[in-house]
Amino acid sequence: MPEDGLQRTEKLKSVNTMSQRIDLCSSADVAPGNALKVETGDLVLAVFNVDGEFYVIDDQCTHGPGSLSEGYIEGDVVECNFHNGQFNIKTGEVVAPPCMVPVRTYKAVVENGRVLIETE
Ligand code: FES
């Protein structure tokens, strides 16, 4: 007879270590100093090329309906075309009001000429 009392039920924590990769566009689609709006699944994203490096943030401004891919880009800062709030493209931090809330950033990778993001 097995000794049931010694049986341990160990629940594995549901830790999702698998990151998901989402293909967004060709790196050739976004020239340096430009941005591209990409919709995939529930996400609406803005892909930026800052001096050959790619960065991905939410397209929607955290202050209102502005589309950041349509904003004015200067270096690593994008200015919303609605009320001229500014965000750092690399960190998502607010650079200038009226924006108060940082914009979400995504980890971008370039592989075989494609820009992808890794989500958890
Ligand atoms: Fe972007 Fe207001 S909607 S600054």
Looking at ligand 1, which residue's alpha carbon is closest to its atom 3? 64
Task: Quote the domain boundaries for residue 77.
Answer: 19-119
**Is residue 42 situated within a structural domain?**
yes
Do residues 65 and 58 touch, judged by C-beta distance below 8 A? no
Do residues 57 and 66 touch, judged by C-beta distance below 8 A? no
pLDDT digits (tens, 9 = 90+) for 53-102: 999 999 999 999 999 999 999 999 999 999 999 999 999 999 999 999 99
Kindly report the CATH number assigned to the domain that includes residue 99. 2.102.10.10
| Residue 44 reports pLDDT greater than 60 | yes
Q: 85 CB under 6 A from ligand 1?
A: yes
**Is residue 11 situated within a structural domain?**
no
**Is residue 48 situated within a structural domain?**
yes
Q: 63 CB under 6 A from ligand 1?
A: yes
Q: How many domains does the chain have?
A: 1
pLDDT at 14: 45
**Is residue 9 situated within a structural domain?**
no
pTM here is 0.85
- Counting from 1 in the atom list of ligand 1, the atom nearest the Cα of 99 is 4
- Counting from 1 in the atom list of ligand 1, the atom nearest the Cα of 68 is 1
| Residue 13 reports pLDDT greater than 80 | no
pLDDT at 119: 85
Mean pLDDT, residues 22-28 taken together: 98
